[in-house]
Amino acid sequence: MPAYAASEKSPSPFAELVELEDGDTFIFLGDSITHQCLYSQYVETYFYTRYPHKRIHFRNAGVSGDQVGDALLRFEEEVAVFEADYVSVLLGMNDGRYRYFDHEIFSRYEIGMGQLLDQLGNISEVIPMGPTYFDTRSVRLYENAAHWVNTRDEMRDYYPPVLAFYSEWVAERAQLGGFNFVDMATPMRRLTFAQRRKDPSFTLAKDAVHPEAKGHVVMATAMLQDAFKIEPVSEIMISLNRKGRIEKSDANGLIENLVSKKGHVSFDFTATALPWVLPYSAHEGFELVNAAERFSRESLQVSGLKEGEYELNIDLVPIGRYSDVQLAMGIELHALAHAPQYKQAMAVATLNKDRNEQAIKPMRDLWLSRKVKLRSEESWLEESQAHPDYTPRKASYDAEMDSFYSTLKELEALAMEFEDKIYAANEVPPRSYSLTLVD
């Protein structure tokens, strides 16, 4: 049994749901699915909009093709040096080698993951995650299914249960170690099967392995659901008495200048958060999982209004018309794309999309290039110091490494510039609300 597992006679308590704090560093460690910079981006955007007053530093440490052993090789440079407060781990898809279950292969994963969790547990709080859903129907339906899968028709139907075994093993180790655990495959499979009642060709990953944007939304919501404490964006409640005067008000934010006159209610409201919205490319997935209702609720409830229809304006922008009954029951604001707070949140989401596309993804590509081009050379240099080609090859290697670190430094600086822009754009201003009785 790996050292990180607690004794069954004295089990560790399951970890509390995570509440990130100002100054925390969070690392997403993984393989090509993390390298895509999508589910990680969507989780980042959730925190950029939900906690604008907490400066949280996110790092992506995904490299395409990685297995646990590769993550261990990168551990010091990509994880330990940053002294992260939290590290999520999404590995296993490649570790099963896209074949029938093989205990020898699994044993290498078990030992490696145990070592990785041990090392992570010494420096941070760990969030292990099960492998994502492998879609066997995509292999049959789409020509662009991953070539290493397409050439192994005899095993394609067996790989989902292989990954399920890996996932259950990680879940048990998380439980014994007192970690949080994120089940990635189950919500992906459930949504896929539900959609196939209407569209038999529906898939979240056309190559069977790498989810499209909608699949990464499912992954992000699974991560938020399983590992983090979720709170509503804003809840505004105002009660008027029989004379139309303000009786009480409550909100998870600041209400000021509340005025009630005949047929009109107005106030200024400063929320503590922005709604969680994602770029247009992710909207299909956002709607499929009902993410706005589940993770980004904004509500306004005003009771005691005179009977009739009222127009709601926020910062002089017409939002909609609602009856006094609807307002007394409460209306939802989180899906209104024309609302000022939604537009501000979309600006934040767009900045983070740019940050990932212009800085984070190129950084991951750089690490992949190092793995592919330089690691074999590192091995040769370690073993061939007496070789006549050692000196020129060592000089060439050193030059490539100098270029690697120089480019990495530039991309790190660019990522920080985007982070500064995000934390300037996500400051929540007071907004003016008004409800006016329509003649």
- Residues 40-87 pLDDT 10s: 999 999 999 999 999 999 999 999 999 999 999 999 999 999 999 999
The C-alpha atoms of residue 368 and residue 377 are separated, in whole angstroms, by: 14
The C-alpha atoms of residue 269 and residue 433 are separated, in whole angstroms, by: 7
Residue 147: which pLDDT band, with cuts at 50, 70 and 90? low
Residue 3: predicted pLDDT: 45
Residue 149: which pLDDT band, with cuts at 50, 70 and 90? low
Q: Which of 9-23, 135-149, 155-169 has the lowest mean pLDDT?
A: 135-149
pLDDT at 130 > cutoff 80: yes
Residue 373: which pLDDT band, with cuts at 50, 70 and 90? confident
Residue 11: predicted pLDDT: 63
Residue 6: predicted pLDDT: 47
Q: Which two tokens stand for residue 288?
A: 């499929």
% of the chain residues with pLDDT over 90: 80
Give the mean model confidence (pLDDT) for residues 104-115: 96
Residue 12: predicted pLDDT: 65
Residue 145: predicted pLDDT: 61
Are 120 and 91 in contact, with CB atoms under 8 Å apart?
Answer: no
- Average pLDDT along the chain: 92
Give the mean model confidence (pLDDT) for residues 167-179: 93
Contacts of 99 (CB under 8 A, 6+ apart): 105, 152, 155, 159, 162
Q: Which two tokens stand for residue 81?
A: 């040096």
pLDDT per residue as tens digits for the range 257-315: 999 998 999 999 999 999 999 999 999 999 999 999 999 999 999 999 999 999 999 99
pLDDT at 24 > cutoff 70: yes
The C-alpha atoms of residue 92 and residue 205 are separated, in whole angstroms, by: 17
Neighbours of 350 (CB within 10 A): 17
pTM of the model: 0.94
pLDDT at 148 > cutoff 60: no
Residue 1: which pLDDT band, with cuts at 50, 70 and 90? very low
pLDDT at 5 > cutoff 50: no
Q: Which two tokens stand for residue 50?
A: 């939900």
% of the chain residues with pLDDT over 70: 94
What letter does residue 438 receive in the DSSP assignment? -
Is the backbone of residue 318 left (phi > 0), alpha (psi -120 to 50) or beta? beta
pLDDT per residue as tens digits for the range 59-69: 999 999 999 99
Residue 246: predicted pLDDT: 85
Residue 232: predicted pLDDT: 86
Residue 157: which pLDDT band, with cuts at 50, 70 and 90? confident
pLDDT at 140 > cutoff 90: no
Contacts from 152-160 at CB under 8 Å and sequence distance 24+? 152/98, 152/99, 155/98, 155/99, 155/100, 156/208, 158/100, 158/101, 159/96, 159/98, 159/99, 159/134, 160/133, 160/134, 160/136, 160/185
Residue 150: predicted pLDDT: 55
pLDDT at 222 > cutoff 50: yes
> Mind giving me the DSSP string for 364-430?
HHHHHHIIIIIHHHHHHHHH-TTSTTHHHHHHHHHHHHHHHHHHHHHHHHHHHHHHHHHHHHTPPPP
Q: Which two tokens stand for residue 9?
A: 């006679």
Q: Which of 165-174, 246-255, 310-319, 339-348 has the lowest mean pLDDT?
A: 246-255
The C-alpha atoms of residue 252 and residue 287 are separated, in whole angstroms, by: 26
The separation between the first and the last C-alpha atoms of the chain, rounded to the nearest angstrom, is 74
Give the mean model confidence (pLDDT) for residues 374-402: 89
- Overall size of the chain counted in residues: 439
Residue 377: predicted pLDDT: 85
pLDDT at 368 > cutoff 90: yes
Q: H helices within 228-339, ranges in order? A: 283-288, 291-295, 324-329
